Structure 1
Amino acid sequence: MDAAEGLLCDQGSDALTLAAVAERAGVSKGGLLYHFSTKDALIKAMAERLITDFDELVAEQPHGTYTRRYLGATMTAIRTGRLRRWAVVTGSSGNMFLLAPVREAMKRWHTEALDDEPDPVAAQIVRLACEGLWDVASHDPDLHSEAELQALEKRLTALL
């Protein structure tokens, strides 16, 4: 999956073939096919891995409501460049079936523990702002300086 993500980042979705992924990963095409029988299976697995990665980032946040941890995970993902992977993986498929895990995760992320928030509407606003930051950072990771990210994070935290 790392090889496929790298291929997508470097050359775009047209270059994503099982043969190219196998070559980049240094495995035989048959070895790759053992784990991923089709390109679609590979894309779906990459999307599922991204979801798991973000869920782990949320769980690793030290404290606060779900939305505070979601904001912290988003900022960590932006600062470490992990969001770039979202753009290349989700952009690689025109098949909405393959992105079903992403849609399900988004629904969960945007409804999770809203009843536990002191201000559920503010929590929704912050979660949606995180989505905007994700989108911008995934397409232009250098747009915001660290100082700007800190200011955005501080303001979003204040909303909570």
Structure 2
Amino acid sequence: MRRDELLDAAESLLAEQGTQALTLTAVAERAGVSKGGLLYHFNSKEALIRSLVERLIADFDESIAAQEGDTYTERYLAATLAAIRGDRLRRWAVVTGATGDPTLLAPLREAMTRWQREELDQEADPMAARIVRLACEGLWEVATHAPGVYTDEQLRELERHLLDLLSG
């Protein structure tokens, strides 16, 4: 069994039953492997959670890279909106909710620092880029805790205004 399949099993278990249900035995059962098979890939629950967080970060990095836009901030905005419109927010909420140990969120803190600083010196207006990136974080937070608060049309309008801010 591949690592991603084990991580998928852990995510689905978290989404359906919450953090208290996340045990190595339960993940192994969900994935249909022995506990030893799971331990081959993840030697502890903490290692499993850390890998879940790292996979989320890698997925978002890939989404940023796949977006169209002239600047990093434009691609960051597009990736944020894609996450909000898709099923990614649930994954983030579920996985980060499982990280009872603050050290397990260290990779996310590092990624957040990188995302907020990436290519700022290449932006026409670095302060506008900072504002747009912070708006993305706020939008992500609202959409995580109050899904559906913004309609598709409202999201498109927000996107237009944020892009206008970037273009001056």
TM-score greater than 0.5 by the shorter chain: yes
- Hey, what does 2:55 align to over in structure 1? 49
Deviation at 1:136, TM superposition (A): 1.8
Deviation at 1:104, TM superposition (A): 0.4
Kindly provide the CA deviation profile for residues 100-128 of structure 1, in whole angstroms up to 9, marking residues without a partner as x: 11000000000001111111111111101
Alignment pair present for 1:83 and 2:52: no
Alignment pair present for 1:115 and 2:121: yes
Identity of aligned residues (%): 64
Among 43, 64, 71, the residue aligned to 2:70: 64
Secondary structure of the corresponding residue to residue 104 of structure 2: coil
Moved >3 Å (runs of 4+) = none
Length, aligned pairs only: 160
Secondary structure of the corresponding residue to residue 100 of structure 2: coil
Instruction: Give the gaps of 5 or more residues in structure 1.
Output: none
Task: Identify which range, 131-140 or 20-29, moves more after superposition.
Answer: 131-140
Secondary structure of the corresponding residue to residue 150 of structure 2: coil
Quick one: distance in 1 between partners of 2:69 and 2:19?
38
- Normalised to the residue count of structure 2, the TM-score between the two structures is 0.92
Higher relative contact order (CA 8 A, sep 6+): 1
- Normalised to the residue count of structure 1, the TM-score between the two structures is 0.96
The alignment's C-alpha RMSD in Å is 1.0
Deviation at 1:138, TM superposition (A): 2.1
The letter of the residue matching 1:78 is: I
Alignment pair present for 1:152 and 2:140: no
- Hey, what does 2:103 align to over in structure 1? 97
